[in-house]
C-alpha cells in the first residue's frame, strides 16, 4: 500500500532522541506517509546505526547528502521531517526547500532570530511547503475552541491566561534531552520560553485569532549553572485591547506537560488543558459550565474533521501530532495537483514559526531591561 503514501525522509531522530519517534508514529497513524530515508544523527556512524535499527531503506550520513541524492531519485522523498535540535533546523531545511522537497519541521522554528528570518526567505523562494509541528493545534478541541471564538460564542476576547509548566528540570539534568535544551548554542536564547513558551504563545494566538502587540517578561534561572531561563513570567498585550499572562516553567514540581489555556470574552469563557485534551470547557456567562467532549454532537465541524474515534475514547498527544501530519499530507497532495488545500486544512506555517522566535527574542530582551515592555 506504500504506493499511495507520501515518501518521507527524516533528519535527526536517532535512537536516543525523543521527538523523532513521536514524528514517526504521528506519520504512521493515519497512513499518509511512508518513511523511506533518513539522516538520523549528527555523526555518520550513529546515523547509519539508527537507520539500520529502524530498517530504513535508505540511510544517509548527513542531511545534505540525503537532500542531494533523494532529489535526484525518481522515487525520492517528497517530504522531510526535521527533528534535530533547534540550531540545525534552518541549515537542514534550506537544503530540502531549495530542491523542492516539502519540509515538516519541529518547533521552535530556529535557534536564532536571524535564522528564522532566513527560513522565511527560504520558504518564500521555494515551491515546497513548510509545516511547523506546533502539535497542540492539531487537537480536536483546540480546533473547536478556535471555531467558537471566531464564531463569537464568547464575545470579544478580554483576557487570556496561558501556561505551560513542567518539572523535569527542577534539578540539573544530564540526559541528552536536557543537555541540548539548556544549551544556548543548540536551543537558542530561550530555555523554557523557547521549548514550551512558544507552544503556549502559539496556542493563545491560534485559539483567539489575536496577535500580541507587546510583552513584558521576567525570566528566571533557578537551577545554578544553567544558562537559559527555566521559568518565565510574561505579560501580554494583544492588538485590540485583550490582555494576557503567560507562564512557562521547567521547575514546577508536579507538572508533567501541563499546558493549559483559559480565554475570557465579554459573554463567556473557554478552558482547555493538554493533559485532558478531549474536553473543552465552555463557561457561558450566567449559565452552568458546559463540558464539550471530542466527538460529541456539540463539538462542531472543525473538531469532527480531525477526530478518529467515538466520544469517550480518548485521543491523545500522538493523534494531535498525527493531525498535523495529515493536514500536511492534504496540503502536499493538493500541491501535487497544482491546487491549494481547502480552507479547512490548517497547520502552523513558517510565519507562525517566526512569531514564536520573535516571542522568545522579545522575552529575553524585555527581561534584560527589567521586564520593560517590548514590541512584537
67-86 positions binding its own copies, by CB under 8 A: none
Q: Please give the grid coordinates belonging to residue 66.
A: 540525503
What is the distance between the alpha carbons of residues 116 and 103, in angstroms, rounded to a whole number? 14
Kindly state the smallest distance separating residue 335's Cβ from its own copies, in Å: 20
Residues 299-338 binding its own copies (CB under 8 A) are 308-319
Residues 27-46 binding its own copies (CB under 8 A) are 28-31, 34-36
The reply on whether position 224 binds its own copies by CB under 8 A is no
- CB-nearer residue toward its own copies: 95 or 229: 229
- Binder of its own copies out of 147, 153, 213, 218 (CB under 8 A): 218
What is the distance between the alpha carbons of residues 216 and 232, in angstroms, rounded to a whole number? 10
What is the distance between the alpha carbons of residues 133 and 322, in angstroms, rounded to a whole number? 10
- Binder of its own copies out of 297, 337, 338, 343 (CB under 8 A): 297
Helical (H) or strand (E) element with 360: helix 350-368
Please choose, from the candidates 348, 299, 346, the residue with its C-alpha nearest in 3D space to the C-alpha of residue 153: 299
- Binder of its own copies out of 229, 271, 352, 361 (CB under 8 A): 271
- Binder of its own copies out of 266, 301, 339, 344 (CB under 8 A): 266
Kindly state the smallest distance separating residue 348's Cβ from its own copies, in Å: 18
What is the distance between the alpha carbons of residues 347 and 171, in angstroms, rounded to a whole number? 35
- Reduced 3-state DSSP string for 48-80: HHHHHHHCCCEECCCHHHHHHHHHHCCCCCCEE
Binding residues with its own copies: total (CB under 8 A) = 95
What is the distance between the alpha carbons of residues 358 and 352, in angstroms, rounded to a whole number? 10
The reply on whether position 296 binds its own copies by CB under 8 A is yes
Residues 150-209 binding its own copies (CB under 8 A) are 154, 158-159, 161, 163, 166-167, 170-171
Residues 24/303/108/273 CA torsion (nearest 10 deg): -100
Kindly state the smallest distance separating residue 227's Cβ from its own copies, in Å: 17
Kindly state the smallest distance separating residue 274's Cβ from its own copies, in Å: 8
Amino acid at each position: 500500500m506504500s504506493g499511495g503514501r507520501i515518501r518521507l525522509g527524516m533528519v535527526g531522530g536517532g535512537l536516543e532522541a525523543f521527538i523523532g519517534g513521536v514524528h514517526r508514529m504521528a506519520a504512521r497513524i493515519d497512513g499518509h506517509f511512508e518513511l523511506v530515508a533518513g539522516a538520523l544523527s549528527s555523526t555518520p556512524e550513529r546515523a547509519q546505526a539508527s537507520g539500520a535499527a529502524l530498517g530504513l531503506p535508505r540511510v544517509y550520513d548527513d542531511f545534505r547528502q540525503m537532500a542531494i541524492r533523494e532529489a535526484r531519485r525518481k522515487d525520492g522523498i517528497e517530504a522531510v521531517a526535521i527533528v534535530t535540535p533547534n540550531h540545525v533546523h534552518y541549515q537542514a531545511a534550506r537544503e530540502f526547500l531549495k530542491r523542492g522537497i516539502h519540509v515538516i519541521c519541529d518547533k521552535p522554528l530556529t535557534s536564532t532570530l536571524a535564522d528564522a528570518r532566513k527560513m522565511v526567505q527560504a520558504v518564500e523562494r521555494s515551491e515546497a511547503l513548510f509545516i511547523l509541528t506546533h502539535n497542540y493545534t492539531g487537537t480536536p478541541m483546540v480546533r473547536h475552541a478556535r471555531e467558537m471564538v471566531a464564531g463569537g460564542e464568547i464575545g470579544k476576547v478580554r483576557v487570556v491566561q496561558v501556561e505551560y509548566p513542567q518539572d523535569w528540570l527542577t534539578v540539573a539534568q544530564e540526559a541528552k534531552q536536557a543537555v541540548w535544551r539548556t544549551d544556548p548554542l543548540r536551543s537558542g536564547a530561550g530555555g523554557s520560553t523557547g521549548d514550551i513558551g512558544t507552544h503556549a504563545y502559539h496556542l493563545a494566538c491560534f485559539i483567539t485569532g489575536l496577535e500580541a502587540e507587546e510583552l513584558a517578561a521576567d525570566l528566571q534561572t533557578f537551577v545554578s549553572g544553567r544558562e537559559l531561563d527555566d521559568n518565565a513570567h510574561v505579560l501580554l498585550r494583544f492588538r485590540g485591547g485583550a490582555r494576557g499572562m503567560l507562564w512557562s516553567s521547567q521547575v514546577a514540581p508536579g507538572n508533567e506537560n501541563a499546558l493549559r489555556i483559559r480565554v475570557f470574552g465579554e459573554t463567556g469563557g473557554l478552558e482547555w488543558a493538554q493533559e485532558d485534551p478531549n474536553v473543552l470547557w465552555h463557561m457561558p456567562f450566567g449559565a452552568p459550565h458546559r463540558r464539550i467532549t471530542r466527538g460529541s454532537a456539540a463539538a462542531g465541524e472543525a473538531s469532527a474533521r480531525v477526530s478518529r474515534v467515538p466520544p469517550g475514547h480518548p485521543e491523545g498527544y500522538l493523534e494531535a501530532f498525527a493531525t498535523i501530519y495529515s493536514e500536511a499530507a492534504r496540503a502536499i497532495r493538493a500541491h501535487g495537483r497544482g491546487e491549494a488545500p481547502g480552507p479547512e486544512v490548517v497547520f502552523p506555517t513558517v510565519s507562525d514559526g517566526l512569531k514564536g522566535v520573535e516571542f522568545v527574542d522579545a522575552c529575553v530582551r524585555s527581561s534584560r531591561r527589567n521586564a520593560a515592555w517590548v514590541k512584537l
